[in-house]
Amino acid sequence: KHINNASFTWQTPSNIALVKYWGKSNPQIPKNASISFTLNNCHTITTIEFVKKEKSEEVSFNLFFEGKPKEEFKPKIAEFFKRIQEYCPYIFEYEMTINSENSFPHSSGIASSASGLSAIAMCLMSLEQELNPDLSVESINKKASFLARLGSGSASRSIEGPLVVWGEHPEIEGSSDLYGVQFPFSINPIFENYQDVILLVDKGEKQVSSTVGHNLMHNHPYAENRFKQANENLCKMSKILQEGSIKEFISLVESEALTLHAMMLTSNPYFILMKPNTLEIINKIWEYREENNSNICFTLDAGANVHVLFPENERENVIQFIDSQLSNYCQKNHYICDVAGFGAKKR
Ligand code: PMV
């Protein structure tokens, strides 16, 4: 089919890993399988306008972020297009104008790469579907995740939801190193609409990017054991999610978060992304859980912010605890309430 002009808009979310991805081989092949909750409120909305060019030469695009030209993000997107051009040859034929906005505030320390790159991938797949109307939704999602992965590994887990596994794993049928797949089993109701409140401890730029962090897993003294452990933890997590064993969920999720940071503490060069308030919050969460017979727990990404996870039935009490106590450890008392969601949405 011949298309001269087209424009597509997608909203895609961020995600939070329960079993973490940390360490990869080229190009973006994970060293272990990971699983995440897809988020709902933390998302990117991206529109791409495609205008057919006279001649198809180099890939050319304009980039706007919240309505303003954004030169500093261009090299990352250019590199992304380079990696995917063999899978999307049509990108040579169009001038692309990309317009993006995030639902979460600027430099909040929330990784926007997962939501940002999955949104671009979905827009490309919409064009591909126009060019080839026979594509099924399933194959569109699979390829979108495949493309998003080449931009940022964890972005492969932002197309579907509420639980996505990325990385080949014997217990997850259909799983692949090349794209994320929906968690194939039914989950216990306690994990439905699972809540995630993101405490913004530090909104600054991270001192060490996740690209550098992943690379430090090469020659890392504990790497092989860690990859093995993560794959075993994915087995455990799969069982926990199906059976609803929430106490085991709590200890596995917190252990995964601390292990991720332990890898950073023990790499060469070593680095620390947690801040004093990260630890203050963790201790407060432990105290609250003890005193209130609660099922809240924390997890961490590659940064100082804390994700507070808890079942929907504790929402009122936990939000009150966060608002009255934990928010004091956040920059400008800022936190974001989110919930597990269902992935990419066409706008
Ligand atoms: O997608 P990347 O390359 O930015 O890696 C992110 C890895 C963690 O967020 C730290 C863990 C994960 O599995 O999301």
Q: How far does the centroid of ligand 1 lie from the alpha carbon of residue 335, in Å?
A: 21
Q: Is 37 helix (H, G, I), strand (E, B) or coil?
A: strand
Q: What share of the chain is helix, strand, coil (3-state, %, to 5)?
A: 40, 25, 35
Which residue minimizes the CA distance to atom 4 of ligand 1?
210
SS3 readout for 67-84:
CEECHHHHHHHHHHHHHH
Q: How far apart are CA 196 and CA 198, in angstroms?
A: 6
Domain formed by 194-339, architecture: 2-Layer Sandwich (3.30)
Exposed, middle or buried by CB within 10 Å (0-12, 13-18, 19+), for 186? Answer: exposed
Encode the chain (347 residues) as per-residue pLDDT tens digits: 789 999 999 999 999 999 999 999 988 999 999 999 999 999 999 999 999 998 888 999 999 999 999 888 899 999 999 999 999 999 999 999 999 999 987 666 676 889 999 999 999 999 999 999 999 999 999 999 999 999 999 999 999 999 999 999 999 999 999 999 999 999 999 999 999 999 999 877 778 889 999 999 999 999 999 999 999 999 999 999 999 999 999 999 999 999 999 999 999 999 999 999 999 999 999 999 999 999 999 999 999 999 999 999 999 999 999 999 999 999 999 999 999 999 999 99
Ligand 1 in reach of 20 Cβ (< 6 A): yes
Q: How far does the centroid of ligand 1 lie from the alpha carbon of residue 153, in Å?
A: 7
Q: How far does the centroid of ligand 1 lie from the alpha carbon of residue 260, in Å?
A: 10
Structure tokens at 208: 């060490």
Ligand 1 in reach of 152 Cβ (< 6 A): yes
Give the model's pLDDT for residue 108.
67
CA atoms within 13 A on the CB side of 289: 19
Ligand 1 in reach of 17 Cβ (< 6 A): yes
Instruction: Kindly give the number of the ligand 1 atom that is closest to the alpha carbon of 15.
Output: 14
What is this model's ipTM?
0.99
Contact indicator for 227, 212 with CB cutoff of 8 Å: no
Instruction: Kindly give the number of the ligand 1 atom that is closest to the alpha carbon of 16.
Output: 14
What's the full length of the chain, in residues?
347
- Could you check whether 5-187 and 194-339 share the same CATH topology? no
Overall fold of domain 5-187: Ribosomal Protein S5; domain 2 (3.30.230)
Q: How far does the centroid of ligand 1 lie from the alpha carbon of residue 12, in Å?
A: 16
Q: How far apart are CA 340 and CA 335, in angstroms?
A: 16
Computed over its alpha carbons, how large is the radius of gyration of the chain? 20
Task: Write out pLDDT tens, residues 216-274.
Answer: 999 999 999 999 999 999 999 999 999 999 999 999 999 999 999 999 999 999 999 99
Exposed, middle or buried by CB within 10 Å (0-12, 13-18, 19+), for 156? Answer: buried
Ligand 1 in reach of 113 Cβ (< 6 A): yes
Q: How far apart are CA 112 and CA 128, in angstroms?
A: 24
CA–chain centroid gap for 139, Å, is 21
Instruction: Kindly give the number of the ligand 1 atom that is closest to the alpha carbon of 157.
Output: 14
Structure tokens at 37: 């909750």
Ligand 1 in reach of 118 Cβ (< 6 A): no
Ligand 1 in reach of 151 Cβ (< 6 A): no
pTM for the predicted model, two decimal places: 0.97
Residue linked to tokens 């966060």: 322
Kindly list the distances between the CA atom of residue 120 and the CA atoms of 31, 40, 111, 130, 220, in Å, as whole numbers in the listed order: 25, 17, 16, 16, 33
The neighbour count for residue 122, using CB atoms within 10 Å, is 28
Domain ranges of the chain: 5-187, 194-339
